[in-house]
Structure 1
Amino acid sequence: MFLNKRYNFLALLLIGLFIYIASFLFDLQVLSRDTALSTIDNQTSDTFYLTAPRGDIFDDKNERLATSSMEPHLFLNLRKIDENNSQIYEQFIRYNFPEFDQNEIKNLFIDGNNIELVGNISTFSATERQKLLELDAFEIFDFPIRKYNFDNLTSHIIGYVGKPTSDDFEEFPHTKNSLQVGKNGLEKFYENTLTGVPGEITLKGKEIIEYIPPQKGEDIYISLNIETQNVVKNSLLQGIELANENEETKDKVIRSASIVLDVNTGAIVSMVSLPDFNPNQFVDGISNQDFEQLNRIQAFNNFAIQGLYPPGSVFKVVSYWLAENEGLFPEGLNSRRGRIDCKGSLSFGFDDGSQQVYQDWKEDGHGRVNLSSAMQQSCNVYFWDIALNIWRTYEGTQNESILQNYAKDLGFGELTNIDLPFERNGIIPDREVFEDWTISRPDLVRPEGWLGGDLMNLIIGQGAITVTPIQVANAYKTLLTSTYSSPYLNIGTSDNLKLKKYNISDDFINFLKNDLNLVTNKNGTAYAAFEIMGRKANDIGGKTGTAQNPGEKNNTSWFVGIDSVKDPKYVVVTVVEEGGSGSAIAAPISRRIIQHLIGSDLTPVRYGEITE
């Protein structure tokens, strides 16, 4: 009996203890949840980051091209938002920021632990800003606004910034703490230099307990001259207008590029690509419609480094160098002075089935020509004769690709490694490339692969070859200085360039300059374009190029110029996609640019002469 009472007492005690524990847990998990969570929040802290102002970008005369201004912005502390006050803040944002649609407003309130950027309030008065702070969840911090002082003029060089994506996070991990990242141009290439140290906002619970301001990124100084840039763009626009007035094209001519390269340093003095865009459109966010319109015309492509074109006769400088260096002239000749009789076509026998009659652009021929006059008049037959000599001498041997090797030594087929993103390398075709294409890209080649006729096309810059304007500029710069180096914009990198010296004699350089001078003077293919310069043309040089395109596309217009034969300081390269003859369009564009470079009076771009 006594034992039963003891057991009953213990049972009641255990049941009471269980009920107490259950009641405590229920109170902790259900009744006191908000209190518990508040206690935890108040014991922990979180850090949020504010985007830092980027470094400025200056031209060679310390003209500020890109800068960041710190402007007051409204932020929303979501930790102070609850179901009782959320509608008040939504209505306030909707009224004061009409550019937000309903979904954008709702997205601001998704992450309850964050501090969200609402918008720029630099136009708000001091009184209006003070009223904002009367609403407890609003905070005001300075936020950097990127400004591009020359709008479209430097768009392909400077680039633009935008909100980082997952791809940006992977490439630039620091952008996880930023709302800006370089998307193109120098802004992207020098992202790690231009970006600063983000500011820090430390919250404990709902309250900000510490604020560390952001630190500005490093400035960079570039070789671009904004005055020259303006002249180059205006010259291109005049040339495009001329092309549309005089050339028969299926589509309107809109794409072109021009480069001014310092011969002695490799610095980019000017680089213009058209069509272009205004990077300031991206500061507040570009509309999908505007973006798609620009994308449709390839306005974001920098054709100076991304445009892939057959180079036409501007490529003849490669075989010019090869002929002099290797003594490989047309069959029967052993020096640059030897002449062939150009009657307008070349007939010969190939055992591989290649075309056996090649017609020069000048149907009645150029008469008796040597290496110099072949460059002056852009005689295809002379250079075909060199290709024929190479093929008959080296077919099937390692030296069969001697022309391609010389081209690669000048940087064709490879990236120049200019300090801009998205550069393309083009292609220098040879037997190995064609063998690969028969498997990977059979639509581009014949089943029999590389033939002698392909070499004939290559030597005059036609066929499967593609190059970029920057490669052409750098190749001519290399031949004029006997030194290969990467072109650059950032002056701060100029001391770290890798230089590659070639065994190019002073005699060869003088021959080349003199022969380029023949092109822009009487009987030269660019004479009509430079005649307006009078005696000043006696010290100018260049090379025209007219590259055929497949299908119904019009020819691509090329010109390479040097500002002085006696003492060249600049190489100028101009390309106009579907612009027609190099002598008629690209040459007069380049002439106006050279007038500026030598301090001469500028004359309008006028239609030259159709030669090649």
Structure 2
Amino acid sequence: MMARRVVIRNHSAEANLFARRAFIAFSGVLILLIILFSNLYSLQIASFEKYQTRSNSNRIKLLPVAPNRGLIYDRNGVILADNKPVYSLAVIPEDTKDLKNSITAISQLLEISADRQKKFFKSVKSKRRFKQVELHPRLSEQQVALFSVNQHKFPGIFVDARLKRYYPFGKLTTHSLGYVARINRKDVNKLEREGKSENYAATHGIGKLGIEKYYEDILHGTIGHQEVEVNNQGRIIRTLNFNPPTPGKDLTLTLDIELQMIAKRALSGKRGAVVAMDPRTGGVLAMYSNPSYDGNLFVHGISNKAYNKLRNSKDSPFINRTVRGYPPASTVKPFLALTGLEENIITPDTKVWDPGWYQLEGLPNKYRDWKRWGHGWVNLNKAIEQSCNTYFFKLAFELGITKISTMMERFGFGDYTGIDIHEESKAIMPSVSWKRGRYNQSWYTGETLSVGIGQSYWTATPLQLTQALTTLVNHGHKKVPHFLHATSELVSTDEGVQSTNIEEIVYEEQAPLVLKQEKNWNVVLNAMHRTVQVFGATGHEAFKGTHYDAAGKTGSAQVASIKQDEEYEAEKTKESQRDNAMFIAFAPYKNPEIVVAVAIENVAKGGGGTNAGPVARQIMDQYFGNRVISANQGTNIKNNLMVNQHQHSSAIVKVQ
């Protein structure tokens, strides 16, 4: 039997080991506590403000609130661009007991298409269940009424109201006002470059054309914010503060919607344009391009089918013909006559023999007058009255293209007028340098002759013709064509009373066109007066019997070239190659109040006096026969604006 081994424990060594381990553990705990309290100090004291801000940013959200867009009125207080409530059908999925059956039932009730239902369920999958999802973007009044009666059957489904732009006159104002449409990527990039993107955080639409685009910054307003508290899922618990947006300013234009209506009626069935302007101020009274299109189609989003139909139309309704270049034809003969007087090439009594053509010495080509047998002996008055081409062929030859282009540029041809829309064209005022730069070719004398009757490369917009005529009737004093007359906004006083703050726009005078002989203005204007007032003159029939004293000039612009041995016959000519009819006019002859330019494309027969002259007369008949704005028009516009501002202020809708 083996002896049992007895191990004697060393209590002293064990005690030392335990003490060392306890010390190490205690030290570790102490170090961790120091780290813990250091972090607590850092979080609660040293970095308190930093983490409180981050905590609040998780708990408190700033939701942008879009401002109401400013309204647009005509000169008489008629509203041209309004903000109209639009009703959409929205759903909060978590508040709906049986989502699928509810959507099926409401779709049958309101006749919502299967495509919209499919799009809705696709959107539901990508959003949180407490967020609203749109089922139908635009309900009719009948649908809203039908849903209101049955709303109790559909918990979680409701009608959401928001403001959308609305143009009461549709096609009538599109080329002037433009339209508002959904902001796209191009718009976003531009806003970011200009540092304006933050102000559009809650805005869905932006001005795309015309006045809406040019005055976007004034019309849009300033964004507001709603401060809300949310939980960790992003659900809104309560509203802490509301900073309302500042609505955009309202605009009052110089445009007269009644004249605009007359322009549309006068151009019915024709392709063309009308511009009417007040020569005393430069305010545009009417500006209509036909055919047009309804800007309301773009506010809610136009379908591809509807867009392609407009784009592919042979009448090109997207083109704003008021700012498109046309050969000005004989409408520019008064300006050429003035140039000849200034350069001492002609006098009022200078006579030219017109056999029906003009021929350059040594060349076989004959430049024909519109009257085959000619006008006989013609002085300046008769040349403008009868629109004698031969007289102006000779005058253009003696002036030369450089003198012609220099004077015409002083009248504004070949340049922007400065009107407050972006779609304007410069058109073309040809010159030796222009042709060299454009075609790298020399200028030929025959081209100068064509320029002498407003043909060749020369093009002018109806707006440019109106501005040039304004300069002519003002004896060289230039006016910038413009739409905007005044801006207005509602402001609150310290006592809480709202009032309308109106700011009228003052336009600076341009440097005048000064002639060597002041009497030359009246010589040319008198010839234009005779063009309308003298029996047998080209513009007489159009204005026969008016109770106001008008003056004007006709024009027939050749679109396609005609060979030497051919005669122009409109009935046998392809429509797109038929002549354009042009007319410019002003009235009264003494102290003019209105100037008008008309362009009509590809007329079947007749010239400017037959086709465009009656259109100009209808505009003037409306202006003088049913006058609304008197001599103190500024005061009347202001009063109309204040009345309408008051009427619409109670209808402002705040969309959150």
TM-score norm. by structure 1 comes to 0.77
Decide whether the 8 Å contact of 1:169 with 1:175 is kept in 2.
Answer: no
The 8 Å contact of residues 164 and 175 in structure 1, kept in 2 or not, is answered as no
Q: Does 1:573 align with 2:597?
A: yes
1:489 maps to which of 472, 480, 483: 483
Match of 1:101 in 2: 116
Structure 2 partner of 1:281: 297
- Select between 46-55 and 116-125 the one with higher mean Cα deviation: 116-125
Q: Give the root-mean-square deviation of aligned CA atoms.
A: 3.5
Q: Which runs of 5+ in 1 are unaligned?
A: 14-38, 241-253, 330-334, 392-399, 440-447, 602-612
Aligned residues: 523
Cross-structure match for 1:349: 361
Deviation track 1:86-123 (CA, whole Å, cap 9, x = no partner) reads: 75786578555725535643564475378665535672
The one-character-per-residue Cα deviations of 1:371-417 (angstroms, maximum 9, x if unpaired) are 121111111111111121123xxxxxxxx512111111111111112
Determine if contact 2:70/2:250 at 8 Å carries over to the other structure. yes
d(CA) in 1 for partners of 2:92 and 2:409? 58
SS state of the match for residue 575, structure 1?
strand
Instruction: Report how far residue 548 of structure 1 moved.
Output: 0.6
Q: Percent identity?
A: 25
**Alignment partners' CA distance in 2, 1:97 and 1:283:** 23
Alignment of 1:219-234 (within 5 A): 219-234=250-265
Offset from partner CA, 1:160-212 (integer Å, 9 cap, x none): 21111112223343445311111222112211111133454556212264365
Structure with the greater alpha carbon radius of gyration: 2
Q: For the Cα contact (< 8 Å) 1:71–1:143, is it kept in 2?
A: yes
CA distance in 1, matches of 2:407, 2:161: 56
Match of 1:365 in 2: 374
Given residue 257 of structure 1, which amino acid in structure 2 is its aligned partner?
A
1:70/1:326 CA distance change after superposition, 3 Å: same
Equivalent residue, structure 2, for 1:206: 235
Q: Does 1:303 align with 2:312?
A: no
Give the Cα separation in 1 of the matches to 2:163 and 2:223. 11
2: distance between equivalents of 1:585 and 1:186?
30
Residues 414 and 426 in structure 2, CA contact (< 8 A), matched pair in contact too: yes
Give a deviation string over 1:64-85, Cα, whole Å, max 9, x none.
111113455455679x799x98
Q: How does 1:111-510 map to 2 (within 5 A)?
A: 112=127, 119-120=137-138, 123-124=144-145, 126=148, 134-135=155-156, 142-172=161-191, 173=197, 174-198=199-223, 200=225, 204=230, 205-207=234-236, 209-210=238-239, 214-237=245-268, 240=269, 254-297=270-313, 298-305=316-323, 307-329=324-346, 335-349=347-361, 356-391=365-400, 401-438=402-439, 448-481=441-474, 482-492=476-486, 494-504=505-515, 507-510=519-522
Q: Which residue of 1 aligns with 2:499?
A: none
Alignment check: 8 A CA contact 1:318 1:403 kept: no
Q: Aligned partner of 1:337: which letter?
A: D
Runs of 4+ in 1 over 6 A off after TM superposition: 39-42
Cα deviation, residue 313, structure 1: 0.5
**How far apart in 2 are the matches of 1:510 and 1:142?**
61
How far apart are the structure 2 equivalents of 1:519 and 1:146? 46
Call closer, same or farther: CA 1:426–1:547 in 2, change over 3 Å.
same
Match of 2:637 in 1: none
Other-structure match for 2:653: none
**Which residues of structure 2 form unaligned runs of 5+?**
1-12, 26-53, 192-196, 487-503, 562-573, 628-656
Q: Which residue of 1 aligns with 2:635?
A: none
Q: Which residue identity does 2:447 align to in structure 1?
A: D
CA pair 547-91 structure 1, distance change in 2 beyond 3 A: same
Distance verdict in 2 for CA 1:108–1:162, change over 3 Å: farther
Map 1:27-66 onto structure 2 (within 5 A).
43-66=58-81
Contact 1:485 1:500 in 2 (8 A): no
Separation in structure 2 between the aligned mates of residue 559 and residue 461 of structure 1, nearest angstrom: 13
SS at match of 1:293: helix
Kept in 1: contact 2:420–2:483 (CA 8 A): yes
Distance 2:284 2:372 in 1: 39
2:569 matches 1:550 = no
Amino acid at match of 1:578: N
Measure the CA separation in 2 of the matches of 1:88 and 1:40: 41
Q: What one-letter code is carried by the residue in structure 2 that aligns with 1:343?
A: P
After alignment, is 101-110 or 407-416 more displaced?
A: 101-110
Give the distance between the partners of 2:217 and 2:125, measured in 1 at CA: 31
> Which amino acid in 2 is paired with 1:529?
A
Map of 1:526 onto structure 2: 539
Task: Name the counterpart of 2:638.
Answer: none
Shift of 1:562: 1.1
- Paired amino acid for 1:63: V
Q: Deviations over 1:306-360 (max 9, x none)?
A: x22111011212212211222123xxxxx2211111111112237xxx8742111
Distance of aligned partners of 1:438 and 1:152 in 2 relative to their CA distance in 1, 3 Å threshold: closer
Q: Distance in 2 between matches of 1:130 and 1:181?
A: 37
Contact 1:349 / 1:356 at 8 angstroms: preserved in 2? no
**Displacement after TM superposition at 1:149 (Å):** 1.8
> How far apart, CA to CA, are the structure 1 residues paired with 2:149 and 2:237?
23
Aligned counterparts of 1:213 and 1:345: Cα–Cα separation in 2: 73
Instruction: Tell me the secondary structure at the aligned position of residue 567 of structure 1.
Output: coil
CA displacement at 1:236 relative to structure 2:
1.9
Between the aligned partners of 1:498 and 1:109, the Cα distance in structure 2 is 59
Residue 106 and residue 275 in structure 1: after superposition, are their counterparts in 2 closer, same or farther (change >3 A)?
farther
CA contact (8 A) 2:120 2:133 kept: no
Three-state SS of the structure 2 residue aligned to 1:425 is: coil
1:412-471: CA deviation from partner (whole Å, max 9, x where unpaired): 1111121122111101112222222235xxxxxxxx531111111112110111111000
Name the TM-score, length of structure 2 as normaliser. Answer: 0.72
2:41 is matched with none
What is the letter of the counterpart of residue 569 of structure 1? Answer: E
The Cα of 1:46 is off from its aligned counterpart by: 4.5
Moved more, 64-73 or 458-467: 64-73
